């Protein structure tokens, strides 16, 4: 389903690591076969983010064959100087088409005056065209990525002729207090799970509120911008909607 404020882009990278947090306990990292919802949301937030909006990832299309490569990594150890070795399994030659849209963050009523759909939609499209505001990475920091505009479903994908491929129960993402979608997730941090299925190369994500939620811990939403007299929402002197509150907002969310 295409929404009025839909954005479409392609993200590529030599390597990607979209891991289940459970697999990181012992220091070894093993990637999922496809990107997670949370990883794609993080990519889009690096392209353009505002506390006024919440990005919703609708679909991802897998363009290249799923390949993995295992590397021996010497992780940084802060408690001693002894050498250690861990094996990280990465996805290789990653290329994905993504379709997403944004909704207003109803948990931030103090930013209601900042809700201008047309403005933010145009800024997001410009930022995609420019390659994003911040560095793009595919799952982990060492996996550099690149974004550019695309038309979703345009071009030939490797899995276009595969009717259905199931990946089983997967990590969907984390719901924080300021993005609570229902009373079930309010005032807590919870992890979301879902059953991922790819049909003809396309994975259609469940909306966050329809996933299985498991509480991690209680969490209160932090406040910012309470001093409205000194609160500046936008500074558009450069014409691209540079948010003067981005850094302070990011530190408080």
Predicted confidence (pLDDT) per residue in 143-157, tens digit: 999 999 999 999 999
Residue 249 lies in a domain: no
Residue 224 lies in a domain: yes
Is the pLDDT assigned to residue 239 strictly greater than 80? no
Q: Of 142, 166, 33, which Cα lies nearest the Cα of 96?
A: 33
| Per-residue pLDDT at 250 | 36
Alpha-carbon distances, residue 210 vs 1, 2, 24, 129, 206 (angstroms): 16, 19, 26, 32, 6
The mean per-residue pLDDT over the stretch 57-71 comes to 95
* pTM (predicted TM-score): 0.81
Count of domains observed in the chain: 1
Residue 243 lies in a domain: no
Question: Higher confidence at residue 209 or residue 81?
Answer: 209
Residue 137 lies in a domain: yes
Residue 253 lies in a domain: no
| Residue 68: domain span | 7-234
Report the CATH number at residue 213: 3.30.70.2660
Residue 143 lies in a domain: yes
The mean per-residue pLDDT over the stretch 97-109 comes to 90
Question: Higher confidence at residue 38 or residue 243?
Answer: 38
CB-based contact 87:28 (threshold 8 Å) = yes
Highest mean pLDDT, choosing among 46-55, 59-68, 208-217, 238-247: 59-68
Q: How confident is the model at residue 116 (pLDDT cuts 50, 70, 90)?
A: very high
| Per-residue pLDDT at 182 | 65
Strands (E), the chain: 7-16, 29-30, 53-62, 68-73, 86-104, 136-137, 144-149, 165-175, 188-199, 202-204, 212-218
| Per-residue pLDDT at 21 | 72
Measure the CA–CA gap between 83 and 74, rounded to whole angstroms: 7
| Per-residue pLDDT at 219 | 73
Q: Of 233, 31, 201, which Cα lies nearest the Cα of 112?
A: 233
Residue 218 lies in a domain: yes
Residue 188 lies in a domain: yes
* Phi, then psi, of 248 in degrees rounded to 5: -70, -35
């Amino acid at each position: 389903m295409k929404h009025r404020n839909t954005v479409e882009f392609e993200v590529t990278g030599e390597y990607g690591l979209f891991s289940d947090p459970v697999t990181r306990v012992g220091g070894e990292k093993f990637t999922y076969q496809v990107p997670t919802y949370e990883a794609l949301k993080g990519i889009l937030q690096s392209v353009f983010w505002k506390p006024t909006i919440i990005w919703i990832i609708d679909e991802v299309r897998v363009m290249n064959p799923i390949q993995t490569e295992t590397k021996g990594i010497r992780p940084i150890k802060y408690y001693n100087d002894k050498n250690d070795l861990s094996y990280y399994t990465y996805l290789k030659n990653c290329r994905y088409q993504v379709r997403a849209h944004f909704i207003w963050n109803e948990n931030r009523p103090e930013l209601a005056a900042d809700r201008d759909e047309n403005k933010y939609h145009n800024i997001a499209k410009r930022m995609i065209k420019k390659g994003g505001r911040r560095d793009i990475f595919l799952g982990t920091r060492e996996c550099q990525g690149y974004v550019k505009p695309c038309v979703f479903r345009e071009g030939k994908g490797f899995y276009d002729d595969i009717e259905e491929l199931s990946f089983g129960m997967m990590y969907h993402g984390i719901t924080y207090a300021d993005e609570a979608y229902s009373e079930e997730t309010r005032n807590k941090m919870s992890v979301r799970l879902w059953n991922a299925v790819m049909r003809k190369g396309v994975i259609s994500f469940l909306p966050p509120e329809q996933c299985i939620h498991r509480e991690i811990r209680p969490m209160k939403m932090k406040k910012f911008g309470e001093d409205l007299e000194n609160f500046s929402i936008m500074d558009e002197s450069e014409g691209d909607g540079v948010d003067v509150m981005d850094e302070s907002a990011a530190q408080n969310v």
